[in-house]
């Protein structure tokens, strides 16, 4: 419940930030145009992201095997709609969920995930992904991306306005110029940080929901410890930064700069919260 309230608060903060920046840079009309354009782009991503990301990571649908059986058991036990199940050829252990709603959901795991986890740990990981599906986190992420994208678009509009002589008349031009430059610099960064906070909040919620679906918090807690170690030692190659937030653990964890703006909560904190549930 707390994470849901936090998510609503963060989305509200993003919206207020958009309205404020729209007023500073382009008025209400500028904010509306930015929101519409960002919305169109993200709606397209929302509808087709599953096909794009599965093709990107060369996923193949499976209808049998341990991974499929674990997902099927979770769905039967919790009366959930069975998603499509995909196996990715990567050796680095990881997993993600995608799809626009529970009726069109996909859960995917790498080959390496099956190789290092027990069946119980694998169930914990896939329960986490099914929790994302159940709570429509893909939609929440799309909303956050839409607003953050609109803010970035407004900042770009301001940049072009300055290049072509915008910024107000002689009397207030200096003040407008300072406000515009400050907004251009800090607004996209603030939007990105809030968007990432939304992502981290949903990860905590999915951990809790996954523990409830599989019936034992230790399944996921033990799996997360193994996944963090494996991804630090052998980060997944050729990861698209735009998709990193989808995975259960950050596939970019081997890159130090990514730690500054992480889309995932610290693994140890996630493990501690799961252990506290038990």
* pLDDT confidence tier of residue 258, bands split at 50, 70 and 90: very low
pLDDT of residue 148: 72
pLDDT of residue 4: 59
pLDDT of residue 142: 66
* pLDDT confidence tier of residue 28, bands split at 50, 70 and 90: low
pLDDT of residue 256: 45
pLDDT tens digit sequence for 142-199? 677 667 767 777 777 667 666 665 555 445 455 566 766 776 777 777 777 777 777 7
pLDDT of residue 2: 56
pLDDT tens digit sequence for 50-99? 787 889 899 999 999 999 999 999 999 999 999 999 999 999 999 999 88
Residues 270, 268, 260, 256: what is their CA dihedral angle, to the nearest 10 degrees? -130
Instruction: Of 141, 150, 145, 144, give the one whose Cα is nearest residue 18.
Output: 150
The count of other CB atoms within 10 Å of the CB of residue 60 is 10
Q: Is 228 a catalytic residue?
A: no
Instruction: Say if residue 117's pLDDT is above 90.
Output: yes
Q: What is the mean pLDDT of the chain?
A: 81
Residue 110, H or E segment: strand 106-110
Q: Is the CB of residue 71 less than 8 Å from the CB of residue 121?
A: no
Q: What residues pair up with 109 in beta bridges, in sequence order?
A: 87, 95
pLDDT of residue 162: 66
pLDDT of residue 260: 46
Q: What residues pair up with 240 in beta bridges, in sequence order?
A: none
**Count of structural domains within the chain:** 1
217 HSE (CA, 13 A, CB side): 15
pLDDT tens digit sequence for 188-209? 777 777 777 777 888 999 999 9
CA triple 107-109-114, angle to 5 deg: 135
Q: Which residues contact 144 (CB under 8 A, 6 or more apart)?
A: 10, 11, 14, 194, 195, 198, 199
Instruction: Of 100, 99, 117, 116, give the one whose Cα is nearest residue 108.
Output: 99
- Tell me which residue range forms the domain holding 99: 2-277
193 HSE (CA, 13 A, CB side): 8
pLDDT of residue 195: 72
Q: Which residues contact 248 (CB under 8 A, 6 or more apart)?
A: 94, 95, 96, 125, 128, 129, 224, 227
Q: Is the CB of residue 85 less than 8 Å from the CB of residue 107?
A: yes
Phi, psi of 38 (to 5 degrees): -65, -40
What's the rounded mean pLDDT across residues 260-278?
Answer: 86
Phi, psi of 229 (to 5 degrees): -60, -45
Percent of the chain with pLDDT over 70: 71
Identify the active-site residue in 61, 73, 121, 129.
129
Handedness of CA 234, 109, 244, 131 (dihedral sign): negative
């Amino acid at each position: 419940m707390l994470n849901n309230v936090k998510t609503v608060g963060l989305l509200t903060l993003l919206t207020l930030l958009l309205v404020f920046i729209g007023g500073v840079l382009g008025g209400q009309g500028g904010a509306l145009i930015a929101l519409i354009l960002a919305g169109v782009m993200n709606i397209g991503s929302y509808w087709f992201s599953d096909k794009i990301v599965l093709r990107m990571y060369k996923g193949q649908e499976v209808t049998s095997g341990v991974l499929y059986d674990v997902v099927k058991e979770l769905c039967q036990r919790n009366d959930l709609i069975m998603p499509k199940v995909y196996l990715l050829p990567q050796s680095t252990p990881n997993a993600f969920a995608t799809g626009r709603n529970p009726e069109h959901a996909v859960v995917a795991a790498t080959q390496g995930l099956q190789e290092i986890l027990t069946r119980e740990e694998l169930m914990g990981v896939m329960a986490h992904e099914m929790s994302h599906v159940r709570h429509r986190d893909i939609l929440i992420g799309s909303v956050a991306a839409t607003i953050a994208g609109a803010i970035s678009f407004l900042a770009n509009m301001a940049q072009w306005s300055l290049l072509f002589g915008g910024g107000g008349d002689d009397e207030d031009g200096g003040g407008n110029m300072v406000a515009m430059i400050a907004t251009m610099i800090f607004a996209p960064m603030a939007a990105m940080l809030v968007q990432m906070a939304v992502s981290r909040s949903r990860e905590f919620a999915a951990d809790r929901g996954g523990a409830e679906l599989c019936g034992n918090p230790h399944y996921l807690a033990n799996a997360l410890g193994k996944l963090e170690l494996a991804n630090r030692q052998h980060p997944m190659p050729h990861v698209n930064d735009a998709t990193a937030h989808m995975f259960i653990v950050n596939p970019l964890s081997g890159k130090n700069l990514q730690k500054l703006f992480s889309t995932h909560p610290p693994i140890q904190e996630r493990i501690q919260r799961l252990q506290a549930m038990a």
